[in-house]
Amino acid sequence: MKTVKILHLYSQAMDLYGDYNNITVLCQRIKETGNDVEVTAPGLYEPIELDGYDMVYIGHGKARNLAAISEHFVSHADIIKEAIENGQVWYASGNSRELFGESFTSPDGKEHEGIGLFDYRGVETNQVFVCDMIGRPDYDKDEIVYGFANRTAYLEGKNKYPLFDVITGFSDGSAPNGLEGTHYKNFFGTWGIGPVLVRNPSFMKHILKLLLGDDYKECDFTLEQNALDLVIAEFKDKKD
């Protein structure tokens, strides 16, 4: 039995659209495999300590909150980049992905630094953009994942490490370009907000596999797979 240690960064500031339920359900799944899990949510602006954690999670937040926490995050750039290069599992949803690029703009037009792990740049529009997406994940091109974006920013620049080949729907950029998300080593980023891991069994299984090897086979994903199949079928109905 293993105790999986998860670090949930900026849980107070980056907390839109029920995102934390990805962690809640991931914990439920880990327990179903017979293993244990501990989630740590440090206080706002406390120093970030990454050693000893199996996974780090950051959710989607209000644009002004993102700008407010970015300086603190970037002050830890060296240890964050080192941890990701060394294969720590990271999951960044929505606009938190902007922190990992070169820079991003906030609603007041100011430019903020990112940690520069990826060479994209975040652009704030102050306009709400919502869109569905289904795409094939790079970890298994036979699978289809559903995501929903609800954002006011987009990423500019070439997507060198895409997570999804988009079948239909949003991309990282201001216009669809067939690619969405980031998958680099064990870092996963997507504009999909809310229960992405909960609603996509293949994605949940992939994360569980990285954390616990084959133990994920203990979990039953029948309901989740049936629900996802219905969603995907609705896209097909629309096309016909």
Partner 1 sequence: MKYAFVALVCKMLTLAGKILGGGTDLPGKIALKMYPQIMKKLSFKGKVIAVTGSNGKTTTSNLIAHIMRESGYKVVNNELGSNMKSGITSALVSAASLSGKVKADYVVLEVDECYSRFIFEDIKVDYYLVLNLLRDQVARNGNPDVVFEKIAEAISKQPDMTLILNANEPISMNLTIPDRTLYFAMERTSRSTDECVSGTHDCKICPRCFHEMKYDFYHYNHLGQFHCSNCDYGTPKADFLGTQIDFDNKKLLINGEAVTIPFDTTFNMFNSIAACAVCSTVGITMEQFRSGIAGFKGAKGRRESFSFEGRTVNLMLTKQNAASLDQSISFVLEQEGDKTILLFVNNVIYLDYKDVSWLYDVAFQRLNGKVKNVVCSGNRALDTAIRLKAAGIPEDVLIYENDITKVKDALRRTEGDIYILAASAFGDEGKIIEELKK
Residues lying near partner 1 in the complex (CB under 8 A) are found at 12-13, 15-19, 21, 24-25, 28, 43-45, 62-65, 68-69, 107, 126, 128, 130-132, 146, 148, 150, 152, 193-195, 198-199, 223-224, 226-227, 230-231, 234, 238
* Residues with Cβ within 8 Å of residue 122, at least 6 apart in sequence: 95, 97, 98, 101, 103, 104, 105, 114, 153, 154, 155, 156
Cα dihedral across residues 35, 48, 59, 209: positive or negative? negative
CB of 86 to partner 1, least distance (A): 31
* Residues with Cβ within 8 Å of residue 65, at least 6 apart in sequence: 10, 13, 14
Nearer to partner 1, 117 or 145 (CB): 145
Nearer to partner 1, 199 or 205 (CB): 199
Determine the number of helices (DSSP H) and then strands (DSSP E) in the chain: 6, 12
Q: Which of 229, 234, 150 is nearest to 190 (CA)?
A: 150
Nearer to partner 1, 132 or 138 (CB): 132
CB of 185 to partner 1, least distance (A): 27
CB of 87 to partner 1, least distance (A): 28
Nearer to partner 1, 214 or 237 (CB): 237
Q: Which of 94, 116, 60 is nearest to 172 (CA)?
A: 94
CB of 12 to partner 1, least distance (A): 4
Nearer to partner 1, 8 or 199 (CB): 199
CB of 106 to partner 1, least distance (A): 11
